[in-house]
Amino acid sequence: MNSSHEPSTQGTAGPKWQSASESIVLPPLPYAEDALAPVISAHTVAIHHGKHQKTYVDTLNRLIAGTEFAGRPLDTIVKATAGKSEHAAIFNNSAQAWNHAFYWRSLTPRGGGRPDGALEERIARDFGGFDRFRKAFSEAAMTQFGSGWAWLVDDDGKLKVVKTGNADVPLVRGQAPLLTIDVWEHAYYLDYQNRRVDYVNAVIDTLLNWQFAEQALAYTG
């Protein structure tokens, strides 16, 4: 089991990275920029968090200013704009802001390995064992064509591995995310170039935050 970080907060209460001023803010990392090295370098984290994620947040705030979405929780904006072509830009930026905030909490220094307790039991039940889960998760991350995400989700009481393209996120389909791996190139290219497989395997084996996933699972009720 790994060190604790802030649990998932998707749902009616709204995410904890919603600011008191009712604007969407860039949440701080739950660890230092160099804490995930050598798997993910401080340079990659600084650019990924401080430039890519920040751009999504800043763009979203510009897009929602003076609209019905101003002051609403981030996950509410994501769900309200999903699949609506007139709000595509708001969806893309809100979903990417949400996805990235969730991604950083899906990782932890000295993570990886196997879960224990209730989550281990659920993985054994729904995947037939940890090794089968690991294979499915790795394959989802590797076979997502182009940019996107691989996810461990709770889908109406059953754990599943799913993948989404671009900004798409499982919560718009009623699935509760538990962990994610970002497979947009900006997540790994500075450290791994085109070797996505090395990045994916290193994240699964050494950085996955199983305590966060267990807390997220408990939050689903």
Q: pLDDT truncated to tens, each residue of the chain (221 aa)? A: 333 334 333 333 344 544 434 579 999 999 999 999 999 999 999 999 999 999 999 999 999 999 999 999 999 999 999 999 999 999 999 999 999 999 999 999 999 999 988 999 999 999 999 999 999 999 999 999 999 999 999 999 999 999 999 999 999 999 999 999 999 999 999 999 999 999 999 999 999 999 999 999 987 75
| Domains of the chain and CATH, by start | 42-106 (1.10.287.990), 117-219 (3.55.40.20)
**Residue-level length of the chain:** 221
Smallest CA-to-CA distance from 213 within 120, 149, 98, 94 is with: 120
Q: Please give the model's pTM, rounded to 2 decimal places.
A: 0.90
- Output the pLDDT for position 23: 75
Backbone angles phi, psi at 199, to 5 degrees: -60, -50
DSSP state, 154?
E
Q: What secondary structure letter does DSSP report for 11? A: S
Q: What pLDDT, on a 0 to 100 scale, did the predictor assign at position 22?
A: 58
Distance, CA of 74 to CA of 26 (rounded, Å)? 11
